[in-house]
Each structure stands twice: as C-alpha cells, then as structure tokens.
C-alpha cells in the first residue's frame, strides 16, 4: 500500500480556456459542455461556498464527467468506428473532436486532483472530517477495519482469475476494481481482478472513539472515513491464501451507455427498454481510469483486454470515482453546508382551501424552489379525491423513486377516475424507475401510454377534467421541470396553473396526439414540437429583427439549458446583424459565438451555476412593446425541436408577464455573483 505522492500546483489554478477561432461561426458542442463542467468545478474551488458544498460540487463535476463519456464520447467513438468523416457544424471531424476533448480535459482533471488533495482534504481535516489513506492508520484503526472486512466485506467479494484456462473477466460500466498481481509457487506470476462491491459503502466510517483528538472540533462533530478499496487491498491475503501479493492497483471503466432502440422493430417497447437497461453495462469501453502509480505492464494488460488505446486511458492521482464524495453531504455538520432553505407558499394558494377555486380566480405561476412544489402535488391529490373530477391525464418523464404524484394517480384510479399516464420509458438513466412505476400504475388500472414512435415525450403536462355546475371545465398545470418532488427542491423551474379555455383545449388535443392517432398541425396558444415550435421560434426571431430595423428597440432574452441548433443560431446571428439586443442565459452547451464583429456583436451569453440547478426555459420577445414570454420544456437543440414532443406555453396575464420580465429575467441579467460570461 503506497501513499499518494505530493501534488504540485494550486487548487484555484484552473487553466484558462483557449479563445475560440473566429473562423467558424459555431463553437463545438462537446467542448462547450466541457466549459460548462469547468464552471461546476469553479464552484468547488470557490471558498465563498461552505466546505461541504464545495465537496458536493466536486462530486457533481465527477458525475457529469462520467455521463459525458457514457453518452457524448461514446457517440463520437461510434462515428469513428463507422468511418464517419463528416465534420460537425463547427468543422471538426470525429477524430479531431476526440483529440480536442482530451486536450481540454487533461488540465481540468489535473485541477480536480489538485483541488481535492491540496485544498479540500486538508480543510476537511481541519474541521474534524478525515478521509484517511490506509498507510495513515494506527494499529487500533487497522484492527477495527480488519474485523470489519471479515464481518461485512469478505463474503461479498468474488475474485476472478485470468489465465490460460479462464478468460479476462468482464468489467461492468462505472465499476471500481482492483487489479492484483500474485505469485504462486507452482504457476508463477498470476493476475486477478477484484470488483469493489457497489452494495457496500464506498466510504467506511470509523467509530468516534478511534478518531484522533482535534482540540478545535468537539468529539461529537468529528468524522473519519477510509476508502473501501483500500480496506480490501489491505486484506487481499485473506482472499488469496497461500499466494504472495505482489501489487494491487485500482482501476475504473466507463462504457457506452446510450441505448439505441429500434422502435419500429420492437413488438413490446417495455420489454425492449428493460433489456436495454440490462445491456447498458456491456457497452463499448470509452474510458479507463487508473492511478498514476499503476505500472505500465498492468496498464497494457488492461488496455489490451478492454480493446482500447492510450487515447482512452486517463491517469490520476488519488482515489477514483469521486462522485462517491456526495455521501459526505449526509453527515451532520450544518455549519459546513448552505443554510437550510424553506420554500414559500404562493400567496394565491396559502389561504385557499380548494385549489380549483384558486385557479378559477386567475392564472398562478409558481417559481421553484423559491416557492413550494407542494401545490403541484396537491393539485393531483385533490383531483384524486374530488368527486367532481372525471379524468386526469399527465406526462411523466423523471418522477423519482418515491413519487407522491404517481401514488396520487394510482389513488385516483382506485377512486374510479379515468387516469392516463404518458410515461417516457426512454428518459435516459431513469428507464428502470419509469418501468417500475408503469407496471405499478397498470396493476391498478391506470391507462399507461409509452409515448410515440420515434419521439421522446419531454413535455410537462397535467390535465384535470372536472364536472361543474356550468358544464365540464379543464384545469392544467404546465411546467418547465419534471414532476419530481425531490428535484423541485434543488432545480429552478416555473409552472403555470390555468383553466383558460384556449390553453386547456390545446392540452386536451396534445394528449390526444400523445395517446391516439392525430395529425394535428396547429394549436391555439401552445408551441408544440415537432409540429409548430421550430417554425414559430424562427418567426418570432425574424419578426424582432424586422421590427427593430423599422423602429428600433428590438430585444430578445432566452434562458435555457442548451443552445446548439444551427438554424436557430443562424437566425439569432441575422437578428444581431440588424442590431437586435440579444441576451442569452445558457447553463450548459452553447454553440453560438457571442460578440464576434459583423456576426454577433449585439449578443451576450452568460451562464449561471450555483446552489440550485438552473433548469427553466424562458423565451422573451419585446415585439414593439407587445411583449411575449413563453416558458416550457424545450431547449434549443435539434433533438428538442425535431425529435421530441415539447411544449412552450405563453404567459398572458399582464402581472405574470411583468414578473417574468422585470423580476426574474432581470435578476439573471444583473447577476454579478454566479453569472459567468461565455
């Protein structure tokens, strides 16, 4: 067991990104995503954030990087394998993109490690929170962990040999492993792989009485952890009795996890998705991460058997799989976290006993997490109990593992309501959870629909049909975020309650499109992808440019997660060339280049990464003073505009429109704390 060598560098020395070449009108989307994750790492470096919040951001950075290799890098590798040479919109071929990705990531990964080893770990230790390396442990601590290994770990482990009679063991996606070299007296040098079980805690907590004294921290506020793989490594002799342990090093594999579903050939989409989830861990290797201390002969053995090249190998100092650091957020040290945040109840709902009465009095806009998500849950629960409610229809994309919304839908069906749930089985990394909920709802008689052929249903819609004295009235909730009570506490989103007949009629017809045969090509108020959203977005940008050329004053504000669609970017460029002021707030990928003379001089792009995940999509057009604001589920990406069912809804109540423009959007544009210019 060896301790990690000294790192050089400063924790806040994140290398500056290269200035993009002005020759191409688009910035590469993959490199843009890396810049987004750089901003996440910036938050981990920011000493104004509480210490454990910084650790959380480092964990998010690592988790984001895992997904990047599973989805984005895997897609480029597939293009290379297929011999694709067509460049992306920014002019880079797949091979050039892979090289550029590695160049961009290497200094970022180095900064991640410097931050962990030279900043976060020492500062955690100063606060009485220790992430100990095995060589640092005293005899008492080692004795405890040896007993812990015998009682909790040993029986779970399954070492797998690799020799002439046994093939190289399969290494599953995101699995952490030990590569072990042994000496057998009869057979000589051997190799074995030991998988670090995912069912066990990655960080093993030591009893409080075994933690060294720290005069600055009371005993009850001290915590000490040891990495599971190091405990296993120290006990390898128990796994391989009679063998000499020569060396052992951890390694971690990332695989292609992007499922390709041939829906027209799938007789049962549910079964097809279930099989795809099972097969995800078998995808092509996109990254092998090893400790920098791993010797070359072991690296070569792994690369040969995993069928990868040096371009897929990433060496790091320190522990692998830093997403596990999120577990530290569970410790009881509120002094090292953001102050607790309590969402407010919307005034229109605070003293209203019946949510349907409140909605009839006027549109209600909720802004999460600043305002409580509870009314959205109450809306479905009230509909489930109300004897006047005839039917409930809802789209479900990511709902969480313990969803009060889904339970309310099931309860509504048990109460005799007609309930329809459009469940998107292809919601990436939520497929298994959605499958389980779909089966549970079907078991009580909910009519479950699995979306449309070739289209992912991403729209956020809930419809309640109610019998009232003057006839049937429809109530809807339209949102920018998922019907997930957990993420609603940490994602910024807006949602609209309304019973306006023109909007509710659109929602009724959109559900008919989702559940039956419909070739509807127009809607009264909603902008719906893939039928009207792209065309209408282009028209509104062109209208702003035309009006500005005639009278001046043109202004567009767009807030979204990603902006990569070439047609939309080109229209924004043309509007900029007419002089329209364009403010873009883009959290993640942005392929538009702002401030380029003659191309985008009037366009400013900023990104906000902070305590809450910026998730709402808001589109504002000045329109010669007849302002229009749309909110909804759609980012400006080709997939959202052409290959998903999305919806944007208008804010037509003057008070809500003014709040959105003058309070919410203006706050983002004036942010000088978390906003970063791109």
| Burial of 189 (C-beta count, 10 Å sphere; 0-12/13-18/19+) | exposed
Q: Minimal CA–CA distance to 450: which of 437, 468, 462, 467? A: 437
Q: Minimal CA–CA distance to 529: which of 637, 378, 645? A: 645
The strand pair at 389-396 and 364-368 is best described as: unpaired
Residue 604 DSSP SS3: strand
The strand pair at 675-677 and 555-560 is best described as: unpaired
Three-state secondary structure of 314-344: EEECCCCCHHHHHHHHHCCCHHHCCCCCCCE
The strand pair at 188-195 and 461-468 is best described as: unpaired
Distance CA 134, CA 118 (A): 18
Distance CA 273, CA 279 (A): 10
Residue 6 DSSP SS3: coil
Residue recorded with tokens 């003293």? 351
User: CA separation (Å) from 120 to 10, 57, 111, 217?
Assistant: 12, 11, 12, 17
Residue 171 DSSP SS3: coil
Q: Which of 346, 367, 458, 477 is catalytic?
A: 458
368 is catalytic: no
- Are 464 and 360 a contacting pair, CB within 8 Å? no
Q: Minimal CA–CA distance to 53: which of 127, 144, 155, 152? A: 127
Three-state secondary structure of 594-608: CCCCCCCCCEEEEEE
Residue recorded with tokens 């809607």? 523
Residue 571 DSSP SS3: helix
- Are 479 and 507 a contacting pair, CB within 8 Å? no
User: CA separation (Å) from 29 to 98, 533, 676?
Assistant: 12, 22, 18
- Are 121 and 131 a contacting pair, CB within 8 Å? yes
Q: Hey, what are 155's tokens?
A: 């029986």
- Are 424 and 433 a contacting pair, CB within 8 Å? no
- Read off the DSSP letter of residue 68: I
Residue 557, beta-bridge partner list: 583, 620
* Catalytic residue list: 458
């Amino acid at each position: 067991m060896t301790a990690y060598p000294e790192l050089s560098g400063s924790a806040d020395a994140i290398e500056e990104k290269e200035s993009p070449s002005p020759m191409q009108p688009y910035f590469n989307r993959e490199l843009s995503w890396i810049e987004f994750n750089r901003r996440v790492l910036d938050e981990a470096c920011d000493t104004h954030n509480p210490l454990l919040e910084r650790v959380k951001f480092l964990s998010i950075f690592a988790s984001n990087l895992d997904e990047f290799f599973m989805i984005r890098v895997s897609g480029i590798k597939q293009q290379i394998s297929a011999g694709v040479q067509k460049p992306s919109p920014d002019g880079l071929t797949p091979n050039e993109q892979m090289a550029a990705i590695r160049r961009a990531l290497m200094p970022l990964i180095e900064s991640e490690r410097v931050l962990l080893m030279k900043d976060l770990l020492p500062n955690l230790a100063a606060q009485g929170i220790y992430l100990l390396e095995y060589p640092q442990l005293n005899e008492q601590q080692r004795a405890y962990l040896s007993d812990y290994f015998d009682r909790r770990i040993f029986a779970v482990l399954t070492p797998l040999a690799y020799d002439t009679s046994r093939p190289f063991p399969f290494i599953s996606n995101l699995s952490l492993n030990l590569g072990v070299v042994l000496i057998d007296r009869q057979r000589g040098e051997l190799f074995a792989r030991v998988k670090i079980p995912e069912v066990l805690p990655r960080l093993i907590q030591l009893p409080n009485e075994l933690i060294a004294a720290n005069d600055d921290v009371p005993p009850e506020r001290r915590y000490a952890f040891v990495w599971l793989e190091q405990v296993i490594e120290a006990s390898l002799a128990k796994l391989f009795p009679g063998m000499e342990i020569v060396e052992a090093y951890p390694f971690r594999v990332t695989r292609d996890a992007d499922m390709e579903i041939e829906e027209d050939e799938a007789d049962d989409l549910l079964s097809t998705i279930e099989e795809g989830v099972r097969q995800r861990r078998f995808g092509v290797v996109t990254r092998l991460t090893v400790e920098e201390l791993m010797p070359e002969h072991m690296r070569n053995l792994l690369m040969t058997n995993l069928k990868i090249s040096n371009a897929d190998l990433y060496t790091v100092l320190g522990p692998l799989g830093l997403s596990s650091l999120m577990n530290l957020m569970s410790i009881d040290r509120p002094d090292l976290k953001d102050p607790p945040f309590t969402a407010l109840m919307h005034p229109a709902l605070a003293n209203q006993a019946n949510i349907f009465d409140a909605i009839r009095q006027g549109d209600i806009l909720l802004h999460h997490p600043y305002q409580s998500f509870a009314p959205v849950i109450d809306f479905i629960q009230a509909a489930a109990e109300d004897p006047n409610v005839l039917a409930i229809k809802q789209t479900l994309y990511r709902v969480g593992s313990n969803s009060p919304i889904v339970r309310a839908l099931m309860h509504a069906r048990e109460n005799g309501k007609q309930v329809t749930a459009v469940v998107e089985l292809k919601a990436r990394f939520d497929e298994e959870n959605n499958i389980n909920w779909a089966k549970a709802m079907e078991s009580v008689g909910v009519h479950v629909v699995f979306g449309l052929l070739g289209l992912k249903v991403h729209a956020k819609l809930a419809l309640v049909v109610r019998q009232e004295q003057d006839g049937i009235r429809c109530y809807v909730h339209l949102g920018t975020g998922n019907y997930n009570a957990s993420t609603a506490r940490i994602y910024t989103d807006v949602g609209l309650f309304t019973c306006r007949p023109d909007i509710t009629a659109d929602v009724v017809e959109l559900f008919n499109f989702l559940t039956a045969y419909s070739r509807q090509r127009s809607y009264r108020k909603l902008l719906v992808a893939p039928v009207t959203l792209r065309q209408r977005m282009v028209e509104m940008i062109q209208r702003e440019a035309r009006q500005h050329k005639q009278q001046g004053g043109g202004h567009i504000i767009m807030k979204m997660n990603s902006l990569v669609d070439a047609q939309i970017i080109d229209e924004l460029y043309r509007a900029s060339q007419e002089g329209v002021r364009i403010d873009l707030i883009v959290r993640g990928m942005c392929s538009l280049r702002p401030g380029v003379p003659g191309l985008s001089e009037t366009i400013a792009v900023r990104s906000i990464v902070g305590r809450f995940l910026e998730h709402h999509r808001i589109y504002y057009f000045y329109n010669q003073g007849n302002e229009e604001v749309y909110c909804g589920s759609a980012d400006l990406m080709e997939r959202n505009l052409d290959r998903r069912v999305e919806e944007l809804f208008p804010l037509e109540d003057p008070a809500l429109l003014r709040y959105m423009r003058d309070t919410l959007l203006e706050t983002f544009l004036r942010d000088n704390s978390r906003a970063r210019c791109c």
